[in-house]
Every structure is written in structure tokens, then in C-alpha cells.
Structure 1
């Protein structure tokens, strides 16, 4: 059971780190000499802010919501592992699983919106920041599964 809790915590931390990197970098779409992310666009090493659009705003919002849910899930998992007497009236393991699944669902919505709206063609391709967004989505869902299994082994 402790192994599942620790693995869930590690996966949550990895997911949060990957999510921050994905949000902060501007290599979601790349073409020859240019690239852009959720916040900036760079053309021939001259960068500026990216304008607002419904699809970009939705991707930003759901990615940030996912990150916040991941951080709360990390906190709950740490409280469950190290300080079990804190918030003793709540089932922190169950809450961690729910938060992880909600973070994964939010990240899935963000990535799906971006995938559906930014359709690269020709020499334009999705880049590594975009891939990290999908990795964060998967890690969140796997962390939720590990937290749920830890809850099922010891429901308290």
C-alpha cells in the first residue's frame, strides 16, 4: 500500500513538473525559423506575445486548472503519507485519486482543444512542448489510478 502511495506521489510530482514545462515553453507548434506556444510567438528569433483567441484561452485555462489540481493532489498525498493525523476526518487517499483524475480530465480537455484548433500543415508540426502536455495528461491519469488502488487496498 505504501508503495502505491509513494508511486502515486512520484507520478503526481512528475506530472506537475512536466505540466509547468509545457505551459512555460513556446514550442507547441514549430516551423522553419518560427515557433509558438500558449503565451509567445517567435519568428526568426524575434518574439512577441501571442494574441488572445477562444481556443488559446481555453487551452491556457484548462492547463492551469490541471496544474492547480495536481498541486492540491500532491499536497493531499504528502499529508496521507507523512502526516496521517492531519485532516483525520477526511479520506485523503480518495481525495488524491479524485483530484488526479480531475487534473487528467482538465489536461485532456486543454490538449484536445489545442489539437482540434491548431492543425499544422506543410512544414509546420507539433513540437516538444505540445508532446509534454500529452505526457502530463497521461501521468495524471496513471497517478489517479495508483492513488485509487491504494485507496481500495485500505479504504479507512
Structure 2
């Protein structure tokens, strides 16, 4: 067995961690005395729960779906690595597909937020937002690495 399944697992874990940090923090958009996340908005030292809009709700939903898909992919990949004798390429394919689906879901979430936020007046996208995009890319890369692992194990 090559080290690619372990690499895929590592990428999935990092992606899931970044996804959670991105979801939980309120620094998607920042300005001088203002920051906004998916759940909270803060002006100065006063924070409040963010209301519900179609764009925010869909960003939240697709981000959570992405995280859940990553969790399932991580569990399957761990089982694939430790119990290799009782599994096969099907589990690796499933991990790859879940990685791509998690990345696609995250991409939808990030794109909806990007299209709807339009920061202005000194506001700009911030580090929580960037972590969401990094998580998206890592999910896709983890899926690609899992597919490559299938091909290299077949030879």
C-alpha cells in the first residue's frame, strides 16, 4: 500500500478542521470596528446573533453539509487504512467521491457568500472566509489523492 491513503486522510482532517474554524468564527467580513460571520455580527465590542437571510442560510447549510461529508470520508478512510484486508477499492472510491462532494458543497457555500456579501466602505473579506476557501480546495485535493491511490494500488 502506498502512502497516498494516509496523505488523503491528512488532507481530509485538515480540511475538516479549517471548515469548522471557518464556520465558528465571526471574521468572514471585517472593517475597522465591524466583523461579520455566519452566526454573529459585531460592531465594536457589542455582538449579536446574525439574522436569517436566504444567502446566509444557504451558506450555513452547504458549509455544514460539507463538514458532515468530510467526517464520513474521514471515518471511511481511517477504516480503509487500518482494516485494509477487509475492504477494497470501493471504500477508497467512496472516500474520493465524498471528498469531491464535500468540496463541491463548500464551493457552493463560499460562492453564495462571495456573491451576496459584496463588502464596501473599507470592509473586506477576512481570514475566516479565506479558511473556508482553503478548506474547499483541500477537500478537492483529498478526493483527487484518493483517486490516485486507487490507480497506484491497482498496479
TM-score normalised by L of structure 1:
0.95
Deviation at 1:94, TM superposition (A): 0.5
Kept after mapping to 1: 8 A contact 2:73/2:94:
yes
* Structure 1 partner of 2:143: 144
- Local SS of the residue matching 1:120: coil
TM-score normalised by L of structure 2:
0.95
RMSD: 1.5
Count of aligned positions: 155
- Provide Cα deviations, 1:59-98, integer angstroms capped at 9, x if missing partner: 0000000000000000111011001245x47711000000
Whose helix fraction is larger, Structure 1's or Structure 2's?
2
* Structure 2 partner of 1:154: 153
* Structure 2 partner of 1:102: 101
Task: Give distance in 2, aligned partners of 1:38 and 1:130.
Answer: 10
- Local SS of the residue matching 1:13: helix
Which consecutive unaligned segments of at least 5 residues does structure 2 have? none
Deviation at 1:101, TM superposition (A): 0.2
Which consecutive unaligned segments of at least 5 residues does structure 1 have? none
